[in-house]
Amino acid sequence: MNIKEMVEQRKDDIISTTQEIIKIKSVEDEPKEGMPFGEGPYKALEYALNLAEQMGFKTKNLDGYAGYAEFGEGEETLGILVHLDVVPEGDGWKYPPYAAEIHDGKLYGRGSIDDKGPAMAVLHAMNILKDMKVPLNKKVRLIFGTNEETGWGCMKYYFEHEKSPDIGFTPDANFPVIHGEKGIIKFDLVKDINTNCANNIVIKNIKGGSAVNMVPDYCEVTLETKDSKLVEDAFDKFMEKNQYQMILERKGFTFTIKAKGVSAHGSTPEKGKNAITYIMQFLGTIIDCECDICKFINMYNEKIAFKHHGEGIGCGFEDEVSGKLNFNPGVIRMEDDKIVLSINIRYPITFTAQQVYDGIRENLKGTGIELIEDDDEMKPLYIPEDHFLVQKLMKVYREETGDEENEPLVIGGGTYARAMENAVAFGPVLPDQEELAHQPNEFISIDHLLLLTRIYGKAIYELAK
């Protein structure tokens, strides 16, 4: 019996276990004892490890940060790195995001493609190889992370306590093979503000976005003014001119304007519709003074709005290997008389984070806006196309899909491949598939889930034999 036949035979188990882990809302939350990233991520880890143990794998829970399932013998280890945490579900779902319902052959749920579906595909592929008693010369270790979306503390803890695998891949990006990943940084632009405008508008609050690595699908501003006609007329005129989803609510002299955008992954901001930008564009039509907050709004509209590659703010870098920089304003908030805009950038492989920071700071000179760096930089990853790992995975991909056209890729997304040497990202999204990670109505088709199980089974065999 071959891998394809075994996958078909175990189809129901593959589907049901994927459903069960999707039902666990594994968004990072307040830490608890033994649960460093909250109860949800821990429960997902616990489920995966219990399932692996039932299958007969050696398992280990690394204090709730991460865990692994392993089988095989040998001096070297093949590592497959997956994550069980998910980004917040956001709005706009046709089916409940944690119900794992199947409709028209598609399994819907947050994490179905990013990254729980692929994680279950790998686990079942390993189990099939183990049960087939396929001879392997390396240990095979499936490493479960629980903090990929919000900081990688899981991988930091894992590699502080465990030896790194010799080679590896992560099923958390695109096919055919991702041999390069742009550098990733996040930072805040902060400005002290006085919320009283010269034209008698008081901006009480601006808030939008839920994660810096997502295009924000919601933003709202609350303001006060006795000149209600100014706000109402400006809003009507703005909506006549722009096809945005926005509403205006009024209670006395208080107005709340709410904008609905379209979420997308922070590495592809051009694929979403940024609700923060909609609010800032509207505010730009009703402010007309030199106060602190008006200057910030005008800066945003001049240098950031609809400019997805940093070209307006001093970091519009590009190279031949990895293309243009990606610039995503993901979260905005007002706190302690400050306005804070959190930004996520994916910079080209041949540039550095320092060049990005220097370019932005130079561009913002004289504005009173401070750039506050985050320490969690992910440096670029690059493995040549003729590397053993890339060549083997390309061979498997071509054999299983029949795709002879698509070549290895460089992406703006950040995957666990960066966590170790000699690792690349390998799937799960096919070249002709819509990118659904971090979006409402995320799903994985049943056919795709089974295809992944076959591909990863063959990839493990080729790399560990």
Under the banding of pLDDT at 50, 70 and 90, the label for residue 291 is confident
Pair 341, 457 in one domain: no
Pair 276, 231 in one domain: yes
Nearest to 132 by CA among 464, 457, 463, 459: 457
pLDDT value of position 321: 86
Q: How far apart are CA 71 and CA 312, in angstroms?
A: 51
Look at residues 339, 373, 407 and tell me which one is the last residue of a structural domain: 373
The residues facing 247 across adjacent strands are 258
Ranges 9-13, 47-51, 420-424: which has the least confidence: 420-424
Pair 204, 166 in one domain: no
Q: How far is CA 336 from CA 208, 213, 401, in A?
A: 17, 24, 55
Q: How far apart are CA 59 and CA 57, in angstroms?
A: 6
User: Do the bridges between strand 318-319 and strand 254-260 make them parallel or antiparallel, or are there none, so unpaired?
Assistant: unpaired
∠ CA 430-401-12, nearest 5°, is 80
Pair 138, 51 in one domain: yes
Question: What is the C-alpha radius of gyration for the chain, rounded to an integer number of angstroms?
Answer: 24
Select which of 28, 85, 114, 217 is catalytic. 85
**In whole numbers, what is the pLDDT of the chain averaged over residues?**
95
151: left (phi over 0), alpha (psi -120 to 50) or beta: left
Burial 390-419 (b: 16+ CB within 10 A, else e): bebbbebbeebeeeeebebbbbbbbbbbbb
Q: Given the structure tokens 């989803």, which residue do they identify?
A: 245
Mean pLDDT of 283-288: 89
Q: How far apart are CA 128 and CA 447, in angstroms?
A: 18
Pair 107, 82 in one domain: yes
Contacts of 272 (CB under 8 A, 6+ apart): 215, 217, 261, 262, 263, 264
pLDDT value of position 1: 61
Query: What are phi and psi for residue 335, nearest 5 degrees?
Result: -155, 140
Tokens of 103: 């409709």
Select which of 148, 166, 181, 220 is catalytic. 148
pLDDT value of position 452: 98
Range of the domain at 294: 184-373
Pair 416, 290 in one domain: no
The residues facing 61 across adjacent strands are 67
Whether the Cβ atoms of residue 441 and residue 447 lie closer than 8 Å to each other: no
Pair 26, 137 in one domain: yes
Residue 117 has pLDDT above 80, yes or no: yes
Whether the Cβ atoms of residue 247 and residue 257 lie closer than 8 Å to each other: yes
Mean pLDDT of 349-354: 95
pLDDT tens digits, residue range 157-202? 999 999 999 999 999 999 999 999 999 999 999 999 876 665 678 8
Mean pLDDT of 363-370: 96
pLDDT value of position 199: 66
pLDDT value of position 150: 86
Q: Given the structure tokens 């990929």, which residue do they identify?
A: 148
Question: Which segments of 195-352 does DSSP mark as H helices, in order?
Answer: 228-241, 275-286, 292-303
Residue 376 has pLDDT above 90, yes or no: no
Whether the Cβ atoms of residue 37 and residue 43 lie closer than 8 Å to each other: no
Pair 24, 140 in one domain: yes
Pair 403, 285 in one domain: no
The residues facing 365 across adjacent strands are none
Query: What are phi and psi for residue 333, nearest 5 degrees?
Result: -155, 160
Residue 429 belongs to domain with CATH number:
3.40.630.10
Ranges 258-262, 318-322, 401-405: which has the least confidence: 318-322
Pair 175, 34 in one domain: yes
pLDDT > 70: what percent of the chain? Answer: 99
pLDDT tens digits, residue range 78-98? 999 999 999 999 899 999 999
Task: Please spell the DSSP secondary structure of 350-405, one letter per residue.
Answer: TS-HHHHHHHHHHHTTTTTPEEEE-S--B--EE--TTSHHHHHHHHHHHHHH---S
pLDDT > 90: what percent of the chain? Answer: 86
Whether the Cβ atoms of residue 85 and residue 41 lie closer than 8 Å to each other: yes
Nearest to 344 by CA among 333, 336, 356: 356
Long-range residue pairs from 149-154, CB within 8 A, at least 24 positions apart, any chain: 149/28, 149/83, 149/85, 149/86, 149/87, 149/211, 149/213, 150/28, 150/37, 150/85, 150/211, 151/376, 152/376, 152/378, 152/419, 153/36, 153/37, 153/65, 154/37, 154/65, 154/66, 154/83, 154/85
Q: How far is CA 148 from CA 81, 154, 459, in A?
A: 10, 7, 23
Look at residues 317, 348, 373 and tell me which one is the last residue of a structural domain: 373
Cα 119 → chain centroid:
16
Amino acid present at 142: L
Nearest to 50 by CA among 101, 146, 123, 128: 123
DSSP summary character for residue 238: H
Residue 253 belongs to domain with CATH number:
3.30.70.360
pLDDT tens digits, residue range 413-463? 778 999 998 999 999 999 999 989 888 999 999 999 999 999 999 999 999
Look at residues 357, 373, 389 and tell me which one is the last residue of a structural domain: 373
Q: How far is CA 269 from CA 93, 105, 314, in A?
A: 20, 29, 18
Q: How far apart are CA 164 and CA 415, in angstroms?
A: 16
Q: How far apart are CA 294 and CA 200, in angstroms?
A: 12
Pair 154, 208 in one domain: no
Pair 209, 347 in one domain: yes
**Structural domain count, the chain:** 2
Nearest to 248 by CA among 262, 264, 268, 234: 234
User: Is 148 known to be catalytic?
Assistant: yes
